[in-house]
Amino acid sequence: MSKGQSGLGKSTLVNTLFKSQVSRKSSSWNREEKIPKTVEIKAVGHVIEEGGVKMKLTVIDTPGFGDQINNENCWEPIEKYINEQYEKFLKEEVNIARKKRIPDTRVHCCLYFISPTGHSLRPLDLEFMKHLSKVVNIIPVIAKADTMTLEEKSEFKQRVRKELEVHGIEFYPQKEFDEDLEDKTENDKIRQESMPFAVVGSDKEYQVNGKRVLGRKTPWGIIEVENLHHCEFALLRDFVIRTHLQDLKEVTHNIHYETYRAKRLNDNGGLPPGEGLGSVLPPVPATPCPTAE
């Protein structure tokens, strides 16, 4: 899932991340046209392939927020959508004749886009992340990082990390879920050096030193999306798709989903709403009375 205020290039970055037009499924749209603005929560299924390995991917595009006069509780539709996917999974799980492989529409990762102001997070960003971090894995991302100098970028990253810590907002990878010393060492480095990832997204290719690269053209040169000297896009891509893909799914299942599941079953006496005992629990076989010898 991608989330953040309007105009931060969420759709463009997701397309860049998977080198496909995954966040817009429209035969009428091509690279030359402007990406249409997202006006509703939209899930788009896609199959991507790398090195002969196929992966089914669902990208959930969300409307930009914070543009209205009254932004009170504007996170609720997103939180509701995430919980609805947990509910779907739960209902499948408690069925007697459940499928061998339950369709998984749960949101395993939310890329939260932060405006490159160089100052501090907006109160709305803090409130939004505070609510979402309780139900989904949040990965903070500084959008359009090419608008900042290297010094500004470094200072802003530190400031964002500090603000998230002060407000008690947990982002992925969460410290308490590090399973061993190796995980802790690797994740500490990511938390202290990389987060939030400062990225640049682009659908356009340019010729640089004899090869085609994704980038953004400026009066002073080409900003190469996959060049680590220019931005941290490659780090984000490897983090989400390669090194932490399985762990993201496991944390979703073992932590966020289990929290939702325990609360729902507890609130409803062990049953999802609208379910009767007969529809969920198998009939208890009659037990013969013991006879005296």
The domains found in the chain, sorted by start residue, are: 2-267 (3.40.50.300)
Side chain identity, residue 127: E
Chain centre distance of CA 81:
13
**CB atoms near residue 293 (< 10 Å):** 3
Question: Nearest to residue 65, comparing CAs of 57, 73, 54?
Answer: 73
Average pLDDT over residues 60-88: 81
Mode of pairing for the β-strands spanning 110-114 and 138-142: parallel
Tokens of 22: 């995954």
Least confident of 61-65, 127-131, 162-166, 240-244: 61-65
Query: Mean pLDDT, the chain, as a whole number?
Result: 81
β-pair partners for 56: 47
Question: How much is the pTM?
Answer: 0.81
Side chain identity, residue 205: E
Predicted pLDDT of residue 142? 95
Q: Which long-range contacts (CB under 8 A, 24 or more apart) does 35-42 make?
A: 35/11, 37/6, 37/64, 38/10, 38/11, 38/62, 38/63, 38/64, 39/63, 41/77, 41/78, 41/81
Please give the Cα distance from 245 to 108 (Å, whole number): 9
Predicted pLDDT of residue 25? 43
Does residue 285 carry a pLDDT above 70? no
- Separation of first and last alpha carbons in the chain: 67
Average pLDDT over residues 283-289: 42
Please give the Cα distance from 285 to 289 (Å, whole number): 13
Does residue 270 carry a pLDDT above 80? no
Predicted pLDDT of residue 282? 42
Least confident of 86-100, 123-137, 263-277: 263-277
Task: Locate all alpha helices (DSSP H) within 143-285, ordered by sequence.
Answer: 150-166, 181-189, 233-237, 245-251, 258-267, 277-280
Least confident of 7-21, 197-211, 244-258: 7-21
Mode of pairing for the β-strands spanning 42-50 and 53-61: antiparallel
